Chains A and B, each alone.
Chain A
């Protein structure tokens, strides 16, 4: 049995066991772990972390479906936020498998599924919605003071989804998806006004806002990533005509117009206007966007904006950087995790657990 098959097998076995903390037999965390929300065959939601060999290292039972997970930059904590309209945000110690704190929103607000932590580890930023109007909010909490809310201010639009800190921590980039929702029902598809907002955190004011042309107003800007040089990759979802050929992926840099990335015709319609996650590789030069309805992940080169191709991953949605430049880790709703390099086209199965469905986003832990 090859090593990776063996590890994959273990990934499957470990989840079935009821004993917590089995992965702690070896406490080595010198190489990165990966973490994601997931759901098992019984419908129980879990926060799960596994190592680069696909061996499960921890799991924590979640009260309901979650969305993004991130690792605290300093402490051994995983932060996981409920899926929108979300009611909880948990801070979990990944080594002791215990709850550090449970945070809630203010009344009449809910979490939107994404979060960020400042490089010094103190400040937690979440996108939230005013429940009645879907007016977007950025809420700032102090993680070192039990998550006390320090301030909150407008996200610059309706229905904010993902947010990202730029490298110097002073600017927060927010994808305001533009969709007003009640529960998960969409209410304003014909009058959407999505935008990408850059918020200066010390002034708590919007310093730049990118909107879409009126004919593209039904493109919900939902997910993004930013590299060290401030290039922003955005992945969108179109709410208009099923046969329209509109851009779904774009690059942005402050002060410059949006630049739409090409998707070949042969792939385009299989995506069904739906992109999941956006991710730069460790070099910040290779871009990846998942398209779970098209069962594939698409890749581009940053400099030339050249399309590099796609890899088939059934129900694949979560993407994060792997160790080497050009490499990505990709998780799927079919319980699989792959390591893939779009330049060498090398695809390696890291973990295969058919009892488990990996939820939308995957994180480096």
Chain B
């Protein structure tokens, strides 16, 4: 027993090490399981259900519009698009599970679309339809080959709101079939995610070395990542990028949903859903776990930051004619500072919970 002495000395030190190192109250597996179960049953699954319902409704509104292309029907389809988009904004932060299967996440929303792939692909498809002799069949095979940029909400948004495209409504007989096919495809995809989450639940009940998660804490880590990591991404991608470095450099066309005038509404939906995941779910939220771990002050501070930034975003409106005034610009800069604070607080709160969101994956070389 070569390392016997080492083992004995180590054991003698173990008590000492434990008493100095674990000052925070550590959460047991049962508490992580409670958090994971609550997050899935009260947040993830219901919000995917909502997404599927809103997307199916959108699909039927588009069908109605296509059978009778009245201004009223178009307005209703546009209104329902906004509902579906807000439902998506309420679950966009989940980047694990069925939504990641075969690039569904990109299919549902290819954004940012820096090379205007969506616009170019839609134009190509519409031109092809006009040039062809036979009517294009937008079936499953079509979607298997089609670019991700024409499979989701941004493509529907363009076809419902972009006047350069909608002007082809009357002249191009494939316009409505394509629009209908995309909205049906989105409906099917979102319903499939709902269905697959039912099977997915078993991953959150049995933990072994070879299953998807080794422990409830590891499963919880994926959910915590979905709560924390989007905040900086929202600030950078949805606010900083379209705002640009100065008022004169502002390019609101880089914002997420400017065609339907929903870019700011998206921010509200994002913060609302992240706040819900933080403290809105029953008694086993992250807020509750932080309090249990002796971190009440941090828990409350995060809650205050959430409420403050949500209140700030509530007062922001979409820019008029794609251009903000200095005061509004300043307001959005301030919101970015608040989001950074919120993100830092949440990241720091992982330490007492002994959660690592990922070392190599987040910052590798």
Q: A residues within 8 Å of B by Cβ?
A: 6, 10, 13-14, 16-17, 19, 22-23, 25-26, 28, 39, 41, 51, 53, 55, 67, 83-84, 113, 161, 222, 241-243, 265, 269-270, 274, 276, 292-293, 295, 312, 314-317, 332-334, 347, 349, 354-355, 357-360
Distance A240 CA – B169 CA, assembled complex (angstroms): 34
A355 to B21, CA, bound (A): 10
State the Cβ distance, B191 to closest chain A Cβ, in Å: 21
Closest to A177 in B: B365
A22 in contact with B218 (CB, 8 Å): no
Given contacts A16-B17, A243-B106, contact A360 B3 (CB under 8 A): no
Contact yes or no, A25 B5, CB < 8 A: yes
* CB-CB nearest in chain B for A222: B365
Cβ of A274: which chain B residues have Cβ within 8 Å of it?
361, 364
B3 touches A53 (CB 8 A): yes
Q: Which of A26, A39, A354 contacts B354 (CB 8 A)?
A: A354
In contact, B356 and A25 (Cβ under 8 angstroms): no
Chain A nearest CB: distance from B59 CB in Å? 24
The reply to whether A265 and B9 contact each other, CB–CB distance below 8 Å, is no
Which 8 pairs across A and B sit closest by C-beta, in order of nearness? A333-B359, A16-B17, A317-B360, A292-B360, A357-B359, A25-B5, A25-B6, A292-B361
List the B side residues contacting A332 at CB < 8 Å: 360
CB pair A22 B365 closer than 8 Å: no
Given A26-B3, A84-B365, A269-B103, are A39 and B359 neighbors across the interface (CB < 8 Å)?
Answer: yes
B1-16 interface mask toward A, CB cutoff 8 Å, 1 = contact, 0 = none?
A: 0111111011101101
Q: Offer 9 A-B interface pairs, CB within 8 angstroms, sorted by A.
A: A10-B7, A14-B10, A16-B18, A26-B2, A67-B365, A243-B103, A269-B102, A312-B210, A334-B356
Q: Is B351 an interface residue (CB 8 A)?
A: yes
Counting chain A CB atoms within 10 Å of each CB, the highest count among B148, B210, B212, B361 belongs to: B361
**B327-365: which residues lie under 8 A (CB-CB) from chain A?**
351, 354, 356, 358-361, 364-365
Q: Which residue of A lies closest to B103 (CB)?
A: A269
Residues of A within 8 A of B106 (CB): 242-243
Query: B354 and A315: CB pair below 8 A?
Result: no
Q: Which of B11, B110, B354, B365 contacts A41 (CB 8 A)?
A: B354
Determine the residue in chain B with the shortest Cβ distance to A294.
Answer: B361
Distance between Cα atoms of A357 and B13 in the complex (Å): 22
Is B301 located at the chain interface by the 8 A CB criterion?
Answer: no
Please tell me if the beta carbons of B102 and A13 are within 8 angstroms of each other in the complex. Answer: no
**B141: Cβ under 8 A from any A Cβ:** no
A19: chain B residues within 8 A (beta carbon):
13
Q: Which residues of A contact B361 (CB under 8 A)?
A: 274, 292-293, 295, 315, 333
B28 smallest CB distance to A (angstroms): 14
Q: How large is the interface on B (under 10, 10 to 19, 20 to 34, 35 or more residues)?
A: 35 or more
Please, which residue of chain B has its CB at the minimum distance from the CB of A316? B360
Q: A19-B13, A28-B2, A315-B358 are in contact. Are A243 and B148 (CB under 8 A)?
A: yes
If A222-B365, A314-B218 touch, does A13 touch B13 (CB 8 Å cutoff)?
yes
Q: Contact at B3–A55, with CB atoms within 8 Å?
A: yes
Would you call B356 and A357 a contact (CB within 8 A)?
A: yes
Give the secondary structure class of B's interface.
Answer: helix
Docked-complex contact A315 and B356, CB < 8 angstroms: yes
Task: Report B's interface with A, CB cutoff 8 A.
Answer: 2-7, 9-11, 13-14, 16-18, 20-21, 100, 102-103, 106, 110, 115, 148, 209-210, 212, 214, 218, 351, 354, 356, 358-361, 364-365
Name which residue of chain A comes closest to B3, CB basis: A26
Determine whether the beta carbon of B103 is less than 8 Å from that of A317. Answer: no
CA distance A14 to B18 in the complex (A): 11
Roughly how many angstroms separate A23 CA and B9 CA in the complex, as a whole number? 9
Contact between chains at B17 and A359 (CB < 8 Å): no
Complex CA gap A292/B363 in Å reads: 10
CB-based nearest A residue for B351? A41
Question: Distance (Å) between the CB of B48 and the closest chain A CB?
Answer: 20
List 18 other contacts, CB 8 Å, given A269-B100, A274-B364, A357-B356. A13-B13, A16-B14, A16-B21, A17-B13, A19-B13, A25-B5, A25-B6, A51-B3, A55-B6, A161-B365, A243-B110, A269-B102, A292-B361, A315-B359, A333-B356, A333-B361, A334-B218, A354-B354
Does the CB pair B6–A26 fall under 8 Å? yes
Given A22-B9, A41-B351, A265-B102: A347 and B210 interface contact (C-beta under 8 Å): yes
Would you give the shortest CB distance from A215 to chain B, in whole angstroms? 14
Chain A residues contacting B356 (CB-CB under 8 Å) are 315, 333-334, 357
Contact (Cβ within 8 A) A26 B5: yes
Residues of A within 8 A of B110 (CB): 243
A360 to B364, CA, bound (A): 7
Residues in B whose Cβ lies below 8 Å from that of A312: 210, 212
CA A113 to CA B2, docked complex, whole Å: 35
Do B364 and A270 touch across chains, with their CB atoms under 8 A apart? Answer: no
